[in-house]
Amino acid sequence: AIRNLLIDRIEFDPIEKVRYSAVEALGLYGMTNPKCRSVLLWAVRYDKSPLVRAAAPNALV
For residue 34, give the CATH number of its domain. 1.25.10
pLDDT band at 22 (very low <50, low <70, confident <90, very high): very high
Coil, helix or strand for 54? helix
Portion of the chain with pLDDT greater than 70, in percent: 97
Is 0.75 topped by the overall pTM?
Answer: yes
* Residue 13 main-chain phi, psi, to 5 deg: -75, 135
Portion of the chain with pLDDT greater than 90, in percent: 82
Q: How far apart are CA 4 and CA 48, in angstroms?
A: 21
Q: How far apart are CA 44 and CA 52, in angstroms?
A: 7
| Residues 24 and 59 sit within 8 Å (Cβ to Cβ) | yes
Which structural domain range is residue 27 located in? 2-60
Q: Which of the pair, 32 or 17, is modelled with greater confidence?
A: 17
pLDDT band at 1 (very low <50, low <70, confident <90, very high): confident
- What total of structural domains would you count in the chain? 1
pLDDT at 61: 87
